[in-house]
Structure 1
Amino acid sequence: MYDRVYVCHTFYHVYIACLKEFYLGAQGGATLVLSKMSNKFGSMVERAKKSPIFDEVYEYDEKEDTFFPELKPLKEDSGNIALNMFKRIRFCKKFGKLQEQYVPLDFSKYKDIYVFCDSDPIGYYLSYKKIRYHAVEDGLDCIRYYDTARYDNRGHFKIKAGMAELGLIFIQNGYGKYCIDMEVNDISVLQYPCPKYVELPRKKLTDRLTSREKELLLELFVEDMDKLKDKLSQAKKGLPTLLVLSEPLCDLDTRKRIFEDIIRDYGTIDGQKAIVLIKQHPRDLLEYNNIFSDAVILDGSFPMEMLNLIEGLEFDRVVSVYTVTDSIKFAKEKLYLGDDFMDIYEAPEIHRQNEAITD
């Protein structure tokens, strides 16, 4: 029997997995599983294999439901509530079974399984196999801004949640029968309760980091530290600095306009034009180097939390649309723009998901 395994879909997930290992004071004993479904981990895979943080590292060719054509009929609306629910029961079990051939290891051999974003296929697979696991929030306080479990199942949610608890269907974020608990940063900010929520503040994990642990994190996530520091040094020219956190918002043309507008509106600080740096999101494919030639572009191959670990780094202003900025320590001013800002660029119902939840 092995100790722990973490199933990660993003760089941020891997970062939190590392923090949890450090917090446990473990010297090895953990396995890291990197899903290739929505994120390209690139050279970090090999660095993870060499890192003392994890004993084993696996890549997981996780498949979305659209990969399996036989699932399509089970997702079509039949116009009948009872029939739709019957089809959903079949979908959940069939999807889990189809996923089995791509799973790279035997999860039943682990004492503790931690799954970030169990709304992804891995959640259906573990439910199908009746394997108990711990769910971990996808991003910092992400349920506060987008309660995916309730939004995806709006309309008779209590009935659906009851069916999930019985194992008839699958619902993410603490509602599935085989989910032991759902780890979140701060329960107090969540509008809707869930009996399986457990709180582990991220600040509790980061405040206790040792110098050696910070070194291990930077070695894992940053491929070329000298190159990164050289880019950051360009901000030390006696001028104010603006860091913009990019995100994969809207279509590419609208996204370009969004970040042009952010730089225009927030790029002057204390009457001076700021030096602009853009931290690219790992899933953002906009050509920032070409479009924003006057800006310093920090690529998406590491989570922005790594900037907290670089001694002496400080920006005058950081601007984000939806990336939660609470954990940022490297800025004098932090601006979170949110839904009101996005209303300008797309229909509000696209991003105001929590307002659509009625039960």
Structure 2
Amino acid sequence: MHERIYVCHTFYHVYVACLKEFHIMHEATLGGDKASNGSNSIGRATLVLSKMSNKFGSIVQRARECGLFEEVIEYDEKEDTFFPELKPLRTNTGSLVKNMINRIRFCKRFGQLQEKYIPVDFKKYKDIYVFCDSDPIGYYLNYKHIYYHALEDGLNCIKYGDTARYDNNGHFKFKAFMSAIGLIFIQNGYGKYCLDMEVNDISILDYPCKKYIEVPRKDLTDELQKADKELMLKLFIENMDELKKQLDEGKDKPRVLILSEPLCELPVRKQIFTDLVNEYSKVDGKDAIVMIKQHPRDYLDYNELFPDLIILSGNFPMEMLNFIEGLKFDRLVSVYTVVDSIKFVDEKIFLGDDFMDKYEAPEIHRINEQIKD
């Protein structure tokens, strides 16, 4: 029987998996109450990297070599649109009863179809951790009656978009009951085989779920030692010398970091970030050095769009910048990426829904406001 397995869909997920592994190591070292859970299992976790929505690239090999994981496996996860036979089961019939029957059939069949792509025997693991169980892996585990732990997709992401309730708007309590008994599947703590769901801060969430458990990310990062941070930098950063050279630009001037995100269609996205660069290219009236940190799933060519700006790679989570000693920015600008954990800036600007109202219909991004009980 193996100890733990993490199913990750993004670089941020891998980052949190690393934090959890370091936490187990530190508990074992300190000989705390939970030491028996970790003392004999250090380096015995399996890391599964889904290729469905993220290009992990060279980090796969570095993860295999870093010593933090027993095994690193790529997973060819398939979306429901990959299987044409599922389309009729996703079509609105106009009848609640018929829709529910189709949904029961969909959840079971989707799990069955996913099975041939599953790269490991999950029943051989004591603890299964799944980030973003709304993805096909959640349907598979539900279909196979395999219990697992869920983790929030991004830092405090449910606060800004409670996808479980939004995706199941209308008659939610009934649908949640159907999920709790295993007839359908709902993500984020509502599935029958989801043991619990880790979130950063329960107090900020509008809608409670009995399976939420609070595991503050700050507590995990505060435990990190210098060697831990260095290991993670080697894991996530392919060329540290090149990154440091970029980050050293303009230290004698005000410096602004803008976080890119895969927002809207490409023409609208170009306009959004052109406007942001124009708006925030000065600090206190002085011209600033502007850098853009590319989002891992944003494939807009920012080097072509902004040839005079410094574009940081999207192949690592922004939290890695916290580990670079002496790094400092005057301002950080984000549309939706939660920046609460960032330590290297003087001013954080989170734009949110009011900003996005200017670029697309509000109902597209104002998710929580449309949730009905």
Letter in 2 for 1:296: I
Matched, 1:342 2:356: yes
2:59 maps to which residue? 44
Structure 1 CA distance, aligned partners of 2:235 and 2:90? Answer: 40
Matched, 1:243 2:263: no
1:266 maps to which residue? 280
1:181 maps to which residue? 196
Q: Secondary structure at the match of 2:314?
A: coil
Structure 2 CA distance, aligned partners of 1:248 and 1:209? Answer: 30
Letter in 1 for 2:159: R
Selected match of 1:153 from 145, 162, 168: 168
Matched, 1:292 2:306: yes
Q: Please report how far the alpha carbon of residue 233 of structure 1 lies from its aligned counterpart in structure 2 after TM superposition.
A: 1.1
Partner deviation per Cα, 1:202-232 (whole Å, 9 max, x = no partner): 0001111101100110011000100100111
Alignment of structure 1 residues 323-338 onto 2, 5 Å? 323-338=337-352
Structure 1 CA distance, aligned partners of 2:308 and 2:204? Answer: 39
Partner deviation per Cα, 1:14-72 (whole Å, 9 max, x = no partner): 00000000011152110000000000000000001111110100000000000001111
Structure 2 CA distance, aligned partners of 1:46 and 1:285? Answer: 22
2:11 maps to which residue? 11
Q: Please report how far the alpha carbon of residue 191 of structure 1 lies from its aligned counterpart in structure 2 after TM superposition.
A: 0.1
2:109 maps to which residue? 94
Selected match of 1:304 from 300, 309, 318: 318
- 5+ residue gaps in structure 2? 26-37
2:365 maps to which residue? 351
Q: Secondary structure at the match of 1:3?
A: strand
2:81 maps to which residue? 66
Q: TM-score, normalised by structure 1?
A: 0.99
Q: Secondary structure at the match of 1:301?
A: coil
Structure 1 CA distance, aligned partners of 2:71 and 2:2? Answer: 11
- 5+ residue gaps in structure 1? none
Structure 2 CA distance, aligned partners of 1:194 and 1:14? Answer: 25
Q: Please report how far the alpha carbon of residue 13 of structure 1 lies from its aligned counterpart in structure 2 after TM superposition.
A: 0.1
Q: Please report how far the alpha carbon of residue 7 of structure 1 lies from its aligned counterpart in structure 2 after TM superposition.
A: 0.1
Q: Please report how far the alpha carbon of residue 294 of structure 1 lies from its aligned counterpart in structure 2 after TM superposition.
A: 1.4
Q: Please report how far the alpha carbon of residue 293 of structure 1 lies from its aligned counterpart in structure 2 after TM superposition.
A: 1.1
Structure 1 CA distance, aligned partners of 2:88 and 2:158? Answer: 30
Structure 2 CA distance, aligned partners of 1:185 and 1:247? Answer: 21
2:31 maps to which residue? none
Segment drifting more, 18-27 vs 94-103: 18-27
1:195 maps to which residue? 210
Structure 2 CA distance, aligned partners of 1:235 and 1:47? Answer: 31
2:238 maps to which residue? 223
Q: Please report how far the alpha carbon of residue 235 of structure 1 lies from its aligned counterpart in structure 2 after TM superposition.
A: 3.0
2:30 maps to which residue? none
Structure 2 CA distance, aligned partners of 1:75 and 1:290? Answer: 39
Structure 2 CA distance, aligned partners of 1:133 and 1:156? Answer: 26
2:227 maps to which residue? 212
Partner deviation per Cα, 1:215-264 (whole Å, 9 max, x = no partner): 1100110001001001111132x110000000000111111111111111
Letter in 1 for 2:149: H
Letter in 1 for 2:351: L
Selected match of 2:146 from 131, 142, 160: 131
Segment drifting more, 259-268 vs 131-140: 259-268
Partner deviation per Cα, 1:116-150 (whole Å, 9 max, x = no partner): 00000000000000000000000000000000000
Structure 2 CA distance, aligned partners of 1:44 and 1:275? Answer: 29
Letter in 1 for 2:235: L
